[in-house]
Amino acid sequence: MARVLLTGGAGFIGSHTADELIRRGHSVRALDLLDPQIHGAERSWPSHLHPDVEKVMGDVRDVEQATRALAGIDAVVHLAAQTGVGQSMYEIRGYVDANCTGTAALIQALVQSKQKIKRFVLASSRAVYGEGGRSCDRCGPLFPGPRCREDMEHGRFDIVCPRCGEETRSIPTAEDAPTQPLSVYAWTKRKQEELCQFAAQTYGLPVTILRYFNVYGSRQSLLNPYTGVVSIFYSRLLASQPISIYERGKPERDFIHVSDVVQANLLALDAEVPPGTCINVGQGTVTTIPHLARALAQACDRTADLQDTGEFRAGDILSCYADLQRSDQLLGYQPNVTLEAGMAEFVAWARGQAAVDRYQTTVEELERHGLFGRAAARST
């Protein structure tokens, strides 16, 4: 039986992780700021949080508050972070402060208090990779950098081989791939990793870094328009509004259900792996955005009205999906939830929640900051 601190413990992944920890007999303390963008203006603890969770309202960026939250704790799962890729591109200070300062303050609290913990799990992101691995049939594997905006404005969204100019295809991205963040959010996640690896080397922090891919499932915020594509699409379907498909429907993602992320969190708390090790947590398969939208619509018993106007966002990638060999070898992790089953679980929960369609607000904000574009119309 362990005493586990979950920073961001009232959130989407944190609350599910708390449920499973308590089911297995552990005690859980949740430290959470209760950000109004996620939890509403009243900043109240969510009703779905397990009643046995010890609730501490506080800011992980405050070293004193972090120190108090760590008292008597055996292990930490550090989930507290701002997570919107698009929003991070103009709310730069807020994202750097929450993600980087928060991680630094938590590590400082551990160092100053000289508290020994058994495991520190950092929730990182596949965003640190930038574009995922690609392969050219002629030249072999490659790791492309950011795409050119001018190409995207002319409707050229695919990635071609920089050596021979041939089209490339997506391949699984392993943890030793280069990290090339394309958004402020991604940059902050890489800095979190670097801070933790520094602490592992210098102070022996027993940290395991989990790179989550695109997480979805029940308790995902339906009020925060930056929380993820599944909740955005659900709100559009509920409002009988068309779903905008970016980049001609070409983007691909690795969607992972929250219960599989929880599985990885608990495995990482138990596994003895070298401090500072990075481990992918995904489904290990690739899904196009139109396929996701149709799967969600089917779970809702609705028809998806997919609208293709060649829109794109700065900071987005074309494709990335997880190589799971390391997570299998080091953690014994195997994803269990199919996309169809995961969509059914999400919709069954979401039907009992209030949902607000704020998609157009996010588009207007991105346009105002020059981060939203549309390709020239295709010739007929």
Helix or strand run (H / E) with residue 56: strand 54-57
Residue in 16, 170, 183, 215 with CA at minimum distance from that of residue 99: 183
- In sequence order, what E strands does 155-213 have? 169-170, 207-212
Neighbouring residues of 240: CB distance < 8 A, sequence distance ≥ 6: none
N- to C-terminal Cα distance for the chain? 66
- C-alpha span between 287 and 226 (Å, rounded): 20
CA torsion sign for 286, 234, 247, 363 is negative
Query: Active-site residue numbers?
Result: 185
Instruction: State both tokens at 155.
Output: 């409707």
DSSP state string for 22-53:
HHTT-EEEEEE---HHHHTTTTPPPTTS-TTS
- C-alpha span between 159 and 79 (Å, rounded): 33
- C-alpha span between 189 and 79 (Å, rounded): 11
